[in-house]
Structure formats: structure tokens, C-alpha cells
Structure 1
Amino acid sequence: MANIKSAIKRIKIANRNNLQNKIYLSKIKTSTKNYFSVLSDLENSPTEENRLKAIKSLSLLFSRIDKAVKRQVLHKNTAARKKARLSTKLNQAN
């Protein structure tokens, strides 16, 4: 444990930010799992309804990734890579 007052404050701030970052990352992971389940439905039965669900799910996931970038939870290049790979999965499923 730190003895200097400013170091103690920095530890508290780091812990607070860590908890806030976990919220955003958790939402991204949950949305990703949902997206892949919808994507597997699309692959099993390629209907227009399933395709629209997949696009809607991807849109929500992109939104959450962009919000994480805006709040500096994810680096912009990491977000771009994730989004590109997720889009590729959707295009392969069609």
C-alpha cells in the first residue's frame, strides 16, 4: 500500500476507472455472444428475418464498441479490427 497521499489517490482513481471500464467491456462481450448466436441462426436457416436480426445485432455491437472508444476503454485500432472481423463474419454467413 502506498504511503504518499497522491499515490493513494491514484490507486483509488485507478480502481474506480477499472470498474467503469469493466462495464463497457462486459456489454461488448454480451453483445458479441448475442451476435454470434443470431449469426448461427442465420447460417442454419438463411431467411430475410434472420438476416435483419443479424444486421440489427451487429449495429448494436458497433454502437457499444464506438462508445468504448469514445470513453477510451478501447483503442480505436482495436475497435476497427473488431468491427472489420465482425462484418466479415456477417458477409460470410450470407
Structure 2
Amino acid sequence: MANIKSAQKRIKVIAKKTLRNKMVKSQLKTAIRRFEDALSLGNLEEAKALLKTVEKKLHQAAAKNVIHKSKASRKVSRLAQKINKAV
């Protein structure tokens, strides 16, 4: 355990940010899984709607520095390719 007051504060701040990052990443994984489930079942209209929400969540996570912006763009691109192949 840290003895210096500023180090103790940093530990608290890091713990809060870690929890937020875990929450956001979990939401991303859930949204992507729902999109892929809809796509595998053949619900193209539902998959298209879910793609919009996934794209929004990915870009929001990138804006908050939870994930890198290039990773967000790459994920969106690959998901879009999947839906285009299905159509």
C-alpha cells in the first residue's frame, strides 16, 4: 500500500477508471455478440439496426480512450463486411 497521499489518490482514480473501462468493453462485446447472433439467424434487418448501435458504441469507446480509434474503425469495417457478404 502506498504511503504518499498523492499515490493513494492515484490508486483510487485508477480503480474507478478500470471499472468504467471494464463496463464499456463488456457492453461492446455484448452488442457485437447480439449483432453476430442476428446475422447468423438470418435477420438482416435486425442486424443492420444492431450494426448502427455497435458502430456508435465503438466510436464512443474510442472517444473516451477505452479502445484505440483505429481498432474501432477496423471492427466497424469488419462487421460491415460480414453483413455485406450475407446480403
Shorter-chain TM-score bucket reads: over 0.9
Greater RCO, 1 or 2 (C-alpha within 8 Å, sep 6+): 1
- Superposition RMSD in Å: 0.9
Distance 2:9 2:69 in 1: 28
Distance 1:2 1:78 in 2: 35
Identical residues among aligned pairs (%): 39
Matched to 2:33, the amino acid is K
The residue aligned with 1:59 is 52
**What SS does the corresponding residue of 2:66 show, helix, strand or coil?**
coil
TM-score, normalisation: structure 2 = 0.93
Q: Deviations over 1:38-66 (max 9, x none)?
A: 00011xxxxxxx22111001011111111
Q: Is residue 79 from structure 1 mapped to residue 72 from structure 2 by the alignment?
A: yes
Q: How many matched pairs?
A: 87
Distance 2:85 2:64 in 1: 31
1:1-94 pair list within 5 angstroms: 1-42=1-42, 50-94=43-87
Structure 1 residue 75: deviation in Å? 0.9
Structure 1's consecutive aligned runs of 4 or more residues displaced over 3 angstroms after TM superposition are none
Distance 1:22 1:83 in 2: 20
TM-score, normalisation: structure 1 = 0.87
Matched to 1:11, the amino acid is I
